[in-house]
């Protein structure tokens, strides 16, 4: 099943995969070889740590390869829509406090709340999809129900 992702998000996953394949994997292979040269593997903490790290790297490589294979790049620059869709940057007003919030709706692997990038699968993301400027949306969070008014949205290059 295709998973939506921005071009920038796709490139970041691809860069991580390349780094793991070309830098990290060769380093850990070298560390294992060096630890083996120290003799008895049954009591060799360096060897155990290197093998564990190798397992982590191989697992992450496998995960990234699957994510990239399933990814469907959505071009967000020059996108036009009457309603909020994947890739939109949305300006909201929290009705209870008057506080402004801005979020960009991205794929799950790109979400970064500190930088205002939230997953379309998040409660806020799901609530915003399909709405228009001026609409009020309720978002149920674990702590409370929050009501927002959509002030504007736009599509930037992602």
Q: What is the mean pLDDT of residues 74-83?
A: 80
Helix (H, G, I), strand (E, B) or coil at 37: coil
Does residue 38 surpass a pLDDT of 80? no
Q: Which domains does the chain have, with CATH numbers?
A: 3-73 (1.10.287.180), 88-155 (3.10.50.30)
- Long-range contacts, stretch 82-88, CB < 8 angstroms, 24+ apart: 82/132, 83/129, 83/130, 83/131, 83/132, 84/128, 84/129, 84/130, 84/131, 84/132, 84/150, 84/153, 85/129, 85/130, 86/4, 86/120, 86/129, 87/6, 87/155, 87/158, 88/128, 88/153, 88/154, 88/155
* pLDDT tens digits, 48-64: 889 999 999 999 999 99
CB-based contact 106:117 (threshold 8 Å): yes
* C-alpha gyration radius of the chain: 22
Of residues 155 and 43, more confidently modeled:
155
**pLDDT tens column, 80-134:** 788 999 999 999 999 999 999 999 999 988 999 999 999 999 999 999 999 999 9
Q: Which residues contact 13 (CB under 8 A, 6 or more apart)?
A: 5, 64, 67, 68, 71, 109
At residue 158, the pLDDT reads 64
The more confidently predicted of residues 109 and 65 is: 65
């Amino acid at each position: 099943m295709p998973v939506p992702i921005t071009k920038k998000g796709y490139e970041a996953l691809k860069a991580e995969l390349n780094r793991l394949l070309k830098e990290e994997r060769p380093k850990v292979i070298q560390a294992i070889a060096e630890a083996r040269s120290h003799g008895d593997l049954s009591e060799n903490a360096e060897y155990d740590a290197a093998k564990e790290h190798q397992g982590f790297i191989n697992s992450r490589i496998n995960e990234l390869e699957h994510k990239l294979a399933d990814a469907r790049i959505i071009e967000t620059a020059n996108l036009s829509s009457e309603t909020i869709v994947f890739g939109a940057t949305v300006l909201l007003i929290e009705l209870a406090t008057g506080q402004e919030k801005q979020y960009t709706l991205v794929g799950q692997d790109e979400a970064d709340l500190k930088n205002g990038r939230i997953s379309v699968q998040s409660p806020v993301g799901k609530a915003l999809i399909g709405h228009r400027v001026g609409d009020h949306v309720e978002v149920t969070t674990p702590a409370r129900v929050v009501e927002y008014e959509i002030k504007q949205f736009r599509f930037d290059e992602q």
